[in-house]
Structure 1
Amino acid sequence: MLIESNADLSRLNTFCLQCTASQFGRFSSVAELLELWRASEASNLPMLPLGRGSNVLCPEHVEALIVQSAMTNVRLQRSTEQHAYVAVDAGVCWHDWVVASREYGFGLENLALIPGTVGAAPVQNIGAYGVEVGELIESVEFFQPSTGQLRRLNASECRFGYRDSIFKRELAGDAIIYRVVFRLERQFAPELSYGPLKELEDGLRSGQLTPAALVERVVEIRASKLPDPDKTPNVGSFFKNPVVPAALANQLQQQYPTMPVYPLADPEHCKLAAGWLIDQAGWKGKWLGPVAMHCQQALVMVSDGSASLADVWKLAAAVQDSVRQQFAVMLEPEPQLFGSYSRS
């Protein structure tokens, strides 16, 4: 196991922001993870996890030992009539797991082609087309550097919310996830109520829609709208879809009849489409220095590859200000600032 000093992280974050870390190491087992922790303690450096870097914004330097999982095992733990419980190591590519999950059960199809690793998925509670990963997680296994303990939280203890979890709050920067146990459905009953997936409902009713076909369609949709981070630096959706009072949503919809509004379980609130708001505010395809809101999906900020973190925040602030002035809605950034965690 090698620990690299003054490690270049610019190719380990999908926005390609220039960043170095005091130290960097990969672990292929829990035993190696514990070795890295002991090294971080000896160096008096905090230990922070990094997946694919697809939902983080990196500063120029991170004073920490950055660790990345190289654990890639997938194992069926048990199976019942309704569910299959599958343990998946954190280092597995997320999309590869979605494709492979069909061998065990169903439910993850709508989350195909989301960049990142399995270990990062619970942190953000990734979601797409009406499905959130927290709905299909049984438990999360992680190492807590502050206590030196291996821990396990069940789904309720993870406190999953919209693009949120305990790993972004109390455990931010203090949880190295090394395994996630999924609870997959044994019966294929896909969520098709969102956007272009509605066109597949007839196929589901006739029995012609397969899990493979659904994954293929989700991949087609995402690829047509979202830039490939391997070709165009970005961190995916830059802003969360805002949740607003239903009264404000109704008021705005009277003014803008084509504005998408999504009902929530709480009838007092609705969810709006951040991409639509950004487009209407005039930022779709518009550049501000080396960064822009994507010409096909205004929710995604892209870079020409030369952007600094200051450039990113400058455009984010300008977009927030425009949307706030026009719609009285404040957009909240989705990606985390890497290395900004603090512990009590």
Structure 2
Amino acid sequence: MTVEREVNLKPFNTFGLPATARSLVRIRETADVRRVLDDPELGRAPKFVLGGGSNLVLTQDIAAVVLKIEIPGLRLVEERANAWVIEAGAGVPWHEVVRWSVEQGYPGLENLALIPGTAGAAPVQNIGAYGLEAQDRLESVEVVDLVTGRVAHLPASVCRFGYRDSVFKQTGFGGLAGKSVITRVRFALPKPWKPVLGYLELERKMSETGITAPTAQQIFDWICAIRRAKLPDPAVIGNAGSFFKNPVVTPEQCRDIIGRDPAVVHYLMPDGQIKLAAGWMIDACGWKGKAVGGAAVYERQALVLVNRGEARGAEVLTLARAIQESVYGRFGIRLEPEPVLL
């Protein structure tokens, strides 16, 4: 367990926003969490869990003890007749989990390639892209209770997954937000493997290449190319990925919105509800490329807010709220931010 004081968090959040942590503890193994809880000073203080900082907007300094999750490790736990079960330490970069699993011959996560963040954050946010979500592959998570220090293994069935949501984000009855920290994650990758296709951009790739039955490696490569073409690299331009959730509405609400603008992009979901394209709505309101101070809407993708240099968290929030009001005024839809606003 390594404890640091007065730590600048700018390098630890992909938006590159300035903030200071009074105390930061690097968690490199599960036992480190218990060591923090047993510490006379750190144990009594509030805790804030920090992974890759890719889903975070910092607007102030952090008085709570920051637990910087850096637990390593990737391994095949078990091979069953119907699945490969792999385990990742919570601090492993998510894209590394996907790349490693595909290269090792354990396909099933390739549609989630190049999503920023860590393995431990994947179930928290229930990350998803191109027809796949973390919940579709999650087997279980290892968590440590931040009060008792007890280690538990939670199956996916109790994680209360929703669209970009899970029990780890929820604060109500039974919610684990602020009460536990994820230290390891297991995924069951189904056998036989079947590609998850159907998205327009993947269909275009199949048409361009003439490949109608792509391998997992080919899908991985396609997803990486698609994301790099339209999304900024956080190492070059600070950002937190998609800033707003795609709103989900009833068919009746969708008909009302289509009545206002027939061109609105929407998708039918398996449960009969309709998912609206938040990026399209933001673009339709004329926000692409607009800025507030150092914070701006990315020129190539209106769903992404970026740091043009020395942006501060307050500027990001001001821009986000202006976008919300604009979209609500035109479409009657209140966009919900994806990142944690702290």
Q: TM-score, normalization: structure 2?
A: 0.93
Paired with 1:147 and 1:162, the residues of 2 have a C-alpha distance of: 30
Q: Quick one: which of 187, 192, 199 aligns to 2:197?
A: 192
Give the length in aligned residue pairs: 337
Pick closer, same or farther for the CA change 1:324–1:33 going to 2, 3 Å: same
CA distance in 2, matches of 1:303, 1:116: 18
Specify the alignment match of 2:180 in structure 1: 175
Paired letter, 1:13: N
Output the TM-score relative to the length of structure 1. 0.93
* Cα deviation code 1:1-31 (max 9, x no counterpart): 3200111111100111111112112122222
Matched, 1:336 2:340: yes
- Cα separation, 1, equivalents of 2:251 and 2:190: 33
Q: In structure 2, do the counterparts of structure 1 residues 150 and 40 end up closer, same or farther at CA, with 3 Å as the change threshold?
A: farther
Q: Which residue identity is paired with 1:166?
A: V
The equivalent of 1:165 in structure 2 is 166
For the structure 1 residues 60 and 206, does the alpha-carbon distance in structure 2 shift closer, same or farther, using more than 3 Å as the test?
Answer: closer
Equivalent AA in structure 2 for residue 331 of structure 1: L
Q: Kindly tell me: are residues 214 and 40 of structure 1, through their superposed partners in 2, closer, same or farther at Cα, counting changes over 3 Å?
A: farther
Per-residue deviation, residues 117-163 of structure 1 (Å, max 9, x unmatched):
10111110000011101110000111111232112211110111100
Q: Distance in 1 between matches of 2:310 and 2:115?
A: 24
1:206–1:304 CA distance, 2 compared to 1 (3 A): closer
Find the counterpart in structure 2 of residue 342 from structure 1: none
Closer, same or farther: CA 283–202 of 1 in aligned 2, 3 Å: closer
Amino acid at match of 2:67: V
**2:284 maps to what in 1?**
280
Q: CA deviation at 1:252?
A: 2.6
Q: CA RMSD in A?
A: 1.9
Structure-1 separation of matches of 2:182 and 2:58? 20
The 8 Å contact of residues 203 and 209 in structure 1, kept in 2 or not, is answered as no
Give CA-to-partner distance per residue, 1:168-221, whole Å, 9 cap, x none. 001112221110010102223121112201235579997751111111110010
Amino acid at match of 1:181: R
Alpha-carbon distance in structure 1 between the residues aligned to 2:106 and 2:324: 41
Instruction: Give the drift of 1:226.
Output: 0.5
- What whole-Å deviation, never above 9, does each CA across 1:232-277 have from its counterpart, x for those lacking one? 111000000001121221233344333221111222x210000000
Partners of 2:81 and 2:209 lie apart in 1 by 22
Instruction: Give, in whole Å, the separation in 2 of the partners of 1:113 and 1:218.
Output: 8
- State the secondary structure of the residue aligned to 2:296: strand
Contact 1:243-1:272 at 8 Å conserved across structures: yes
Aligned to 2:84: 84
Aligned-partner SS, 2:39: helix
Name the amino acid aligned to 2:332: A
| Residue of structure 1 equivalent to 2:239 | 234
Q: Which runs of 4+ in 1 moved over 4 A?
A: 40-43, 200-208
In the alignment, the residues of structure 2 paired with residue 205 and residue 189 of structure 1 have an alpha-carbon distance, to the nearest angstrom, of 19
Quote the residue 2:141 is aligned against: 140
Quick one: distance in 2 between partners of 1:54 and 1:5?
Answer: 22
Distance in 2 between the 1:173 and 1:21 partners? 17
Q: Deviations over 1:268-326 (max 9, x none)?
A: x2100000000001101111221111110000001123222211111111100110111
Q: Gaps (5+ residues) in structure 2?
A: none
Rounded Cα–Cα distance in structure 2 between residues aligned with 1:123 and 1:10: 22
SS at 1:139's partner residue? strand
Distance in structure 2 (CA, Å) of the matches to 1:203 and 1:108: 23
Distance between the aligned counterparts of 1:75 and 1:44, measured in 2?
35
- What amino acid maps onto 1:85 in structure 2? V
Could you tell me which residue of structure 2 aligns to residue 222 of structure 1? 227
2:319 is matched with which residue: 312, 315, 320? Answer: 315
Which one of the candidate residues 187, 210, 213 is aligned to 2:215? 210
* Residue of structure 1 equivalent to 2:49: 49
Q: Match for 1:223: what amino acid? A: R
Give the corresponding residue for 1:296.
300
- Taking the aligned partners of 2:47 and 2:290, their CA distance within structure 1 comes to 38
Unmatched runs of 5 consecutive residues or more in structure 1: 339-344
Query: What residue in structure 1 maps to residue 254 of structure 2?
Result: 249
Measure, in 2, the Cα distance between the counterparts of 1:97 and 1:117. 9
Separation in 2, partners of 1:91, 1:139 = 16
CA distance in 1, matches of 2:69, 2:285: 40
Distance 1:93 1:291, change over 3 A: same
Taking the aligned partners of 1:14 and 1:120, their CA distance within structure 2 comes to 14
1:9 corresponds to which residue?
A: 9
